């Protein structure tokens, strides 16, 4: 009798272990997840003013990877690089455009932007003293966590204010293309779509970088560019106001959909 009871117990335990294993595999796979990485400096992170209207915005199929590496419904602010400054950025409206374009999918956003960082801070091993972070290393860590839920579908990049000097502009595209290559190698996708955004048309020196950014799509067939034309700053001639940040996200989203549909 005891032998039969033990045999039944072992059989039940085996069934439970198998069921648990299947469950966790299904949980990790997250079917239907399209994952997009948000990278750059403060305008990607978002510095637009938060108010009740923007705080309430969300979409049931747009999620964000939190600082704790868990998924939740995305709401402003998405980033946490500088919690006291984080506000409305382009990420949420970008995700909403993708959600409408792919109604069967959950759009999963991975915020990685770090305010104030030059492109040199996005090289492997680089350290940003102002935020006590390693932007590239930290982004890779978050990308790897996100990939447990699916494959990376694309990257949006908004950065350059910190490099708006003649000496830095001369080497900007070399560094940017190397960065793109590194991210593609990390996710094992040599054709991973990148959508770059111009920095605001707010200061004459910003055009040093915008001129360089406009060259990149001709150097890489899987890179596109969106314009910052007719977008407004919030009064500091650097950061997009909330409405402009939201509009910019729509531009990023439309361009990403265009790229995904042609691939």
Chain segment 62-92, per-residue pLDDT in tens: 999 999 999 999 999 999 999 999 999 999 9
Rounded to an integer, the average pLDDT of 183-196 is: 98
Beta-ladder partners of 65: 71
Residues 13 and 133 in one domain: no
Residues 88 and 205 in one domain: yes
CB 35 within 8 A of CB 108: yes
Structural domains counted in the chain: 2
Per the structure, the complete domain to which residue 137 belongs is given by: 31-262
Residues 8 and 89 in one domain: no
Residues 180 and 235 in one domain: yes
pLDDT tens digits along 197-229: 999 999 999 999 999 999 999 999 999 999 999
Query: Where on the phi/psi map is residue 30: left (φ > 0), alpha (ψ -120 to 50), or beta?
Result: left
Residues 120 and 18 in one domain: no
Residues 24 and 71 in one domain: no
Burial class of 34 by CB neighbour count within 10 A (0 to 12, 13 to 18, 19+): buried
Residues 85 and 211 in one domain: yes
Can you give the pLDDT at residue 32? 82
Rounded to an integer, the average pLDDT of 230-259 is: 98
Can you give the pLDDT at residue 223? 98
- Structure tokens given for 258: 């265009």
pLDDT tens digits along 122-170: 999 999 999 999 999 999 999 999 999 999 999 999 999 999 999 999 9
User: Any alpha helices (H) in 61-215, and if so which ranges?
Assistant: 91-101, 135-146, 166-187, 207-213
Residues 3 and 60 in one domain: no
Residues 21 and 39 in one domain: no
Residues 64 and 109 in one domain: yes
């Amino acid at each position: 009798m005891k032998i039969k009871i033990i045999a039944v117990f072992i059989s039940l335990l085996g069934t439970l272990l198998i069921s648990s294993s299947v469950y966790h595999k299904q949980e990790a796979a997250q079917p239907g997840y399209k994952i997009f990485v948000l990278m750059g400096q403060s305008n990607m992170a978002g510095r637009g003013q938060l108010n009740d209207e923007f705080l309430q915005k969300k979409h049931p199929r747009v999620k964000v990877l939190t600082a704790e590496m868990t998924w939740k419904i995305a709401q402003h602010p998405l980033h946490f690089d500088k919690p006291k400054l984080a506000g409305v950025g382009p990420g949420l409206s970008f995700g909403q455009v993708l959600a409408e374009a792919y109604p069967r999918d959950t759009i999963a956003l991975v915020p990685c932007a770090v305010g104030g960082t030059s492109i040199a801070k996005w090289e492997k091993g680089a350290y940003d003293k102002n935020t006590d972070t390693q932007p590239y290393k930290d982004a890779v860590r978050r990308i790897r966590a996100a990939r447990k839920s699916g494959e990376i579908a694309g990257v949006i990049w908004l950065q350059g204010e910190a490099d708006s000097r003649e000496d830095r502009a001369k080497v900007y595209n070399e560094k940017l293309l190397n960065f793109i290559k590194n991210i593609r190698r990390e996710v094992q996708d040599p054709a991973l779509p990148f959508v770059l955004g111009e920095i605001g048309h707010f200061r004459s020196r910003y055009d040093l970088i915008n001129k360089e950014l406009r060259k990149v799509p001709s150097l890489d067939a899987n890179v596109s560019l969106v314009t910052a034309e007719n977008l407004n700053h919030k009064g500091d001639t650097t950061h997009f106001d909330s409405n402009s940040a939201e509009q910019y996200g729509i531009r990023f989203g439309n361009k990403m959909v265009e790229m995904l549909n042609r691939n």
